[in-house]
Structure 1
């Protein structure tokens, strides 16, 4: 199994590297870990979280940055360079990271604590549960490599983080789509009094939602695109894929609407019920998370309890340990690439 250091280093490997063999010319191979989830030619923005946190901290002296040996790999190093006296490097000790964050919050600080999503959700869950959530401490937990955004195998793939944090009392859960939303989410979660878990896209992050005049609001779902045939209810990078799918299926005269749900908890029940309750549309929930316990089951439960019964399908990761490999291959294999999403939707109509 990969060590954390090896995994962190792999995050910086470029999408393609040159290899040679004694009997062949140099050839290009795809890295198992890709520094960006952006498609070729897609607009991106560098380190939106790190830059947004710096802007927030200039106006909020209580904001501090904390990490567990992953400042560079969560874009927190940008904050550390700007505010070295407010930056805490806690070493490879997530339990210590979150325990200290809770203590600092109790003294009036607002810690933004970063690590990989697997380490927060699996390794330090009890410390977050007991010292942050139960005490309702004002700690913002911001975690990279959510869902299947790492090709480094189960040790680094946080396929179940939303399910775990959804079940934690007092915890707000955010799954942003792109750089535009991350920039807006940072000051918004700072304005929320209480603990927040936010998934993080880092490095060169795609820009998508700025084309739709989108504005992030905690606890609010937004209809980014309307459609008469299908409604995709999505979060995170699957909203990006859903919008790509909608454009592709328009060529087949299939009209796809996209309802972006960045706040997994608390759920915007009013908007979801209104849009899912419109007759004649297939409702598909798409998420970068296991099919168990995430947005799909949250929406399904809401619809059942409310007596709203559209034709309903889910797109998400299977209930299994996922393979290691190149992200484009894995996204196709597990059904969350734009092409795979389009194929599934066409098959259901």
Structure 2
């Protein structure tokens, strides 16, 4: 009888072998903040364990609401709580928040500019379970929504610092979530998350990579890999997709002699790449411009390393693309 192999395609870690990680940074950061901020409540649609909200629920069971597999109800109830003075942190998978509950968020949360924080797991290509669970279009959808702040954090530190920052911001927020064992990448860069601000992590004379989310981790890995080929790569992390730090992007892109590469874990349509391109064109900045992103297609189901190679967002493929563009 054959042995059935286990798969971790649904919630596979993006951490490389031997990479330092921290467990459930969102859940721990939210619980810590809630100890001093009594208006915070946690809400989910049957996914507390898979969005790390179970940590909050264990410590604050009286402030935790399990709404079942009903994402539209979840968002509507969150709007009601916000109207009554609570600050809901709402978790589900990104596909369910943005595709299934979009209209409810638009009409009940964003239009009234309510203080609801939507924190969504499995963003972009962080699951191998195919189009039903791969949220490759979520940032584009939420960028178009008036009043909505949109965030794509890079790693555990970004998430830990993001939580109190979005709690201090009044108004709706959509934030992507890396859950489980999350890589710790930014600790060595004297990094501090600031809402609406991009951060230069390293400088370089040949290429400027402008990235968000897990692609900032890939960009840093790519920069180190290309050192052997005498290619000097700068990396700018852009955790806030909306509002975009246009001033920092224009300033760095105007430096002559550098190719600008935008790297994102999202479809080529409608997110950071297009936002940066529009910013540069509007400001009259002329530079060589390329984009590393997911295709405008329904993505395959497979193991994550296979998919990241297939769609060009692995470190090896990213480095190869940049070398090819430089000639």
TM range (shorter): over 0.9
> Contact 2:11 / 2:122 at 8 angstroms: preserved in 1?
no
The CA RMSD measured in Å over matched residues stands at 1.1
How far apart, in 2, do the equivalents of 1:55 and 1:98 lie?
Answer: 24
How far apart, in 2, do the equivalents of 1:309 and 1:71 lie?
Answer: 47
Measured after TM superposition, the shift of residue 31 of structure 1 is 4.1
Q: Match of 1:281?
A: 258
Measured after TM superposition, the shift of residue 203 of structure 1 is 0.2
**Cα distance, 1:131–1:34 mapped onto 2, change above 3 Å:** closer
Unmatched segments (≥5 aa) in structure 2 = none
Aligned with residue 333 of structure 1, among 306, 310, 316: 310
Matched, 1:211 2:188: yes
Q: Match of 2:325?
A: 348
Q: Match of 1:305?
A: 282
**Cα distance, 1:185–1:246 mapped onto 2, change above 3 Å:** same
How far apart, in 2, do the equivalents of 1:37 and 1:304 lie?
Answer: 34
Matched, 1:145 2:122: yes
After superposition, the C-alpha distances for 1:36-80 in whole angstroms (9 at most, x for unaligned) are 110000000000000000011001000000000000000000000
How does 1:287-298 map onto structure 2 within 5 Å?
287-298=264-275
Matched, 1:266 2:259: no
Q: Match of 2:223?
A: 246
> Contact 1:246 / 1:257 at 8 angstroms: preserved in 2?
yes
How far apart, in 2, do the equivalents of 1:103 and 1:29 lie?
Answer: 41
How far apart, in 1, do the equivalents of 2:120 and 2:322 lie?
Answer: 30
Measured after TM superposition, the shift of residue 309 of structure 1 is 1.4
How far apart, in 2, do the equivalents of 1:31 and 1:205 lie?
Answer: 15
After the TM superposition, list the runs of 4 or more consecutive aligned residues in structure 1 that deviate by more than 6 angstroms.
26-29
After superposition, the C-alpha distances for 1:245-288 in whole angstroms (9 at most, x for unaligned) are 00000011100000000000000010000001110000000000
Aligned with residue 321 of structure 1, among 298, 301, 305: 298
> Contact 2:140 / 2:270 at 8 angstroms: preserved in 1?
yes
Matched, 1:226 2:203: yes
Matched, 1:33 2:10: yes
Matched, 1:136 2:136: no
> Contact 1:94 / 1:124 at 8 angstroms: preserved in 2?
yes
Aligned length: 326
How far apart, in 2, do the equivalents of 1:94 and 1:88 lie?
Answer: 13
> Contact 1:238 / 1:286 at 8 angstroms: preserved in 2?
yes
Matched, 1:78 2:59: no
Aligned with residue 202 of structure 1, among 161, 169, 179: 179
Unmatched segments (≥5 aa) in structure 1 = 1-19
Q: Match of 1:68?
A: 45
Aligned with residue 159 of structure 2, among 182, 189, 195: 182
Measured after TM superposition, the shift of residue 321 of structure 1 is 0.2
Measured after TM superposition, the shift of residue 177 of structure 1 is 0.2
Q: TM-score, normalised by structure 1?
A: 0.92
Secondary structure of the 1:73 match is helix
